[in-house]
């Protein structure tokens, strides 16, 4: 989920303001509106982003916030636009603003479209929270098609962030270490996770988080895959880790429970044959794929 973005980001175009201005007037260009960080989606049977014509938003809908260039599909430029007013006429155009997480959970949105929506959401979110310079406190202005903000006073340049998060499954003797967060629904268990800290490698972050949350020591760490996670702007780095100790000591500030779960139990859960005492995250989450990778080891 949120991977395989089909757009060519064409980053060399971001500094070409004349080209960007022309694309924003080009009737072939496509704009995706966001309000309160919710993308506008087509209603009805055929779900997807509600792509709008450039003139439509400029002419009829004021209160425009950040405009960011997403990329090209062939020669067609794609932009994300933040709508700040609450003009309901936009929704009359055949779309509605919907929560992105909810849309992927329900399966209304997936595949390449989810990746484009995630790119737009992460960027719009970043602009909405970086309107002032972190160095001097003065207002910043959007630059380079949305991939930079420049300070109007001190000239400092600020760039969109991606926050690395490690998410990992420790395993030993055919069992995997799963944790249950305090706010998890029902009997949901998942892989442990945490932010990579400054000055830390991915491997060190994996070992530290497992030690801190569950008291288990790990040796070799294997990278599995990554997943963009635009809530607000993380990159989930999925790993499998070989545990070298078994005793669990849960950090009760972080987890309600952690346990070693046998491979055959997880295989049954993935095949829909579990006894209901343990749930795992759905396929939209990288944790699901880590559990699957462990089952197939």
Q: Which residues bind Zn ion (CB under 5 A)?
A: 133, 135-136, 138, 151, 153-154, 156
Residue 114 phi, psi dihedral angles, 5° rounding: -65, -35
Gap between the Cα atoms of 4 and 197, Å rounded: 27
Beta-carbon-side half-sphere exposure of residue 292 (alpha carbons within 13 Å): 14
| Token pair for 92 | 């009359």
Alpha-carbon distances of 252 from 208, 216, 248, rounded to whole Å: 16, 14, 12
Q: What is the DSSP letter of 44?
A: S
Return the number of the residue (136 or 249) whose C-beta is nearest Zn ion.
136
Return the number of the residue (151 or 240) whose C-beta is nearest Zn ion.
151
Q: How far is the CB of 137 from Zn ion (least distance, A)?
A: 7
Return the number of the residue (105 or 135) whose C-beta is nearest Zn ion.
135
SS3 at position 99? coil
Q: Are 241 and 171 in contact (CB under 8 A)?
A: yes
Gap between the Cα atoms of 229 and 236, Å rounded: 6
Residue 52 forms beta bridges with which residues?
31
Return the number of the residue (42 or 135) whose C-beta is nearest Zn ion.
135
Return the number of the residue (148 or 267) whose C-beta is nearest Zn ion.
148
Q: How far is the CB of 125 from Zn ion (least distance, A)?
A: 21
Q: How far is the CB of 129 from Zn ion (least distance, A)?
A: 16
Non-local (6+) Cβ contacts of 185 within 8 A are: none
Helix ranges (DSSP H) in the chain: 17-25, 54-60, 100-105, 111-128, 202-214, 263-270, 286-295
Return the number of the residue (42 or 156) whose C-beta is nearest Zn ion.
156
Q: How far is the CB of 158 from Zn ion (least distance, A)?
A: 9
Q: How far is the CB of 140 from Zn ion (least distance, A)?
A: 7
Q: How far is the CB of 65 from Zn ion (least distance, A)?
A: 20
Q: Name the residue with tokens 């009997």.
A: 187
Q: How far is the CB of 131 from Zn ion (least distance, A)?
A: 12
Gap between the Cα atoms of 164 and 194, Å rounded: 9
Helix ranges (DSSP H) in 68-167: 100-105, 111-128
Return the number of the residue (41 or 133) whose C-beta is nearest Zn ion.
133
Q: For the CA atoms of the chain, what is the radius of gyration?
A: 22
Return the number of the residue (141 or 225) whose C-beta is nearest Zn ion.
141
Q: How far is the CB of 15 from Zn ion (least distance, A)?
A: 21
């Amino acid at each position: 989920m949120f991977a395989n973005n089909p757009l060519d980001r064409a980053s060399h175009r971001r500094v070409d303001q004349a080209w960007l201005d022309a694309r924003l007037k080009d009737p072939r260009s496509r704009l995706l509106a966001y309000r309160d960080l919710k993308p506008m989606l087509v209603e009805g049977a055929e779900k997807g982003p509600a792509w709008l014509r450039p003139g439509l938003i400029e002419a009829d809908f004021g209160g425009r916030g950040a405009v960011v260039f997403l990329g090209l599909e062939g020669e067609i430029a794609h932009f994300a636009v933040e709508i700040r007013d609450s003009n309901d006429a936009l929704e009359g155009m055949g779309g509605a603003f919907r929560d992105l997480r909810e849309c992927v959970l329900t399966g209304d949105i997936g595949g390449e479209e989810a990746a484009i929506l995630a790119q737009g959401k992460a960027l719009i979110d970043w602009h909405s929270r970086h309107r002032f310079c972190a160095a001097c406190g003065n207002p910043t202005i959007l630059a380079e098609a949305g991939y930079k903000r420049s300070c109007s006073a001190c000239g400092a340049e600020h760039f969109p962030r991606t926050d690395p998060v490690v998410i990992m499954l420790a395993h030993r003797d055919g069992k995997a270490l799963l944790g249950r967060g305090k706010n998890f629904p029902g009997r949901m268990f998942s892989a442990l996770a945490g932010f990579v800290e400054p000055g830390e490698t991915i491997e060190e972050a994996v070992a530290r988080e497992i030690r801190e949350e569950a008291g288990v020591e790990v040796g070799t760490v294997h990278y599995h895959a990554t997943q963009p996670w635009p809530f607000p702007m993380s990159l989930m780095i999925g790993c499998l880790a070989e545990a070298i100790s078994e005793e669990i000591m849960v950090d009760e500030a972080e987890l309600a429970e952690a346990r070693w779960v046998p491979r055959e139990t997880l295989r049954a859960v993935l095949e829909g044959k579990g006894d209901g005492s343990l749930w795992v995250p759905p396929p939209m989450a990288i944790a699901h794929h880590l559990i699957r990778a462990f089952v197939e080891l």
